[in-house]
Amino acid sequence: MRSKPVIGISGGIDVSRGGPLGDIKSSVPQDYIHSVEKAGGIAIILPVTEDEESARIIMELTDGLLLTGGHDVDPGTYGEEPLPMLQETLPIRDRFESLLIEEAMKCGKPILGICRGAQILNASLGGTLHQDLSYANGSRLCHDQKTDGRFPSHSLLVNENTILSEIMARDQKVNSFHHQSVKHTAPGFIVSAISKDGVIEAIEMEWPHSSEMEEKPFVVGIQCHPEAMVDEEVWALELFRRFVTEARRVMK
């Protein structure tokens, strides 16, 4: 029997011109793999595919789903037309990750969405996004830092009685590399952290106390990039450890 849970990490599609063996590549930044392994899990990259059955089989074979950063989410996912500040989208990835999320939820497996991952988590389950923070009233802070991602930029205000409040300080400094954000949370989700200019920075699935579930479901989305900070910040590694621990519980 396996002693470590297997974490499926959603991959992106990179296009590089001039390669002798093909221009299109499936990949994820190595920091995600390092973070999962450091937290005690086994990392597997999930390539984007149009095969719908793959999502079901993948979630049967894995114990947790890590949704990574990347392209803007296609606004059609949440019923909007594209606005001028929208950047490059990858609808095939949106569709596949939405299927992965659906299957993970059916199986009761933990989900951690990071940056774009938090956005597709919210959008695929019925929430909406700001296509650019210039459309968000009151957004004034720099949410796309120019410094090394290992180091924090702005602060989060973490709400009490949330999973993040068990991991992060009430006023927590984080890194920041995004221009989109959650506008309205999906049904069944709550806001677990905001920036000091009011931008939603983290969401998680609500835990109805009347539910038969003994523990809070670990379905969490966060805008910052903890995978870049696991060697520098205690909270970042603890977030991955909590995620992997939840995946281990499901595995058993």
What would the pLDDT profile of 53-70 be if each residue is shown by its tens digit? 999 999 999 999 999 999
pLDDT of residue 133: 95
Kindly name the residue from 130, 154, 178, 225 that is annotated as catalytic. 225
pLDDT of residue 146: 93
The answer to whether residue 90 sits within a structural domain is yes
Kindly name the residue from 115, 178, 201, 224 that is annotated as catalytic. 115
Active-site residue, 115 included: yes
The answer to whether residue 1 sits within a structural domain is no
Cβ atoms of 1 and 200 within 8 Å: the answer is: no
Under the banding of pLDDT at 50, 70 and 90, the label for residue 104 is: very high
Mean pLDDT, rounded, for 111-131:
98
Q: Which domain holds residue 109?
A: 25-251
pLDDT exceeds cutoff 60 at 170: yes
CATH number reported for the structural domain that contains residue 164 in this entry: 3.40.50.880
The answer to whether residue 112 sits within a structural domain is yes
The answer to whether residue 176 sits within a structural domain is yes
Active-site residue, 107 included: no
pLDDT exceeds cutoff 80 at 191: yes
The answer to whether residue 98 sits within a structural domain is yes
Under the banding of pLDDT at 50, 70 and 90, the label for residue 209 is: low
pLDDT exceeds cutoff 70 at 210: no
The answer to whether residue 40 sits within a structural domain is yes
pLDDT of residue 50: 87
Kindly name the residue from 103, 201, 204, 227 that is annotated as catalytic. 227
pLDDT exceeds cutoff 80 at 208: no
Mean pLDDT, rounded, for 1-24:
80
pLDDT exceeds cutoff 80 at 24: no
pLDDT exceeds cutoff 90 at 137: no
Number of domains in the chain: 1
The answer to whether residue 55 sits within a structural domain is yes
Q: What are the C-alpha distances in Å from 34 to residues 9, 134, 152, 172, 239?
A: 12, 34, 19, 23, 14
pTM of the model as a whole: 0.95
With a CB cutoff of 8 Å and minimum separation 6, the contacts of 19 are: none
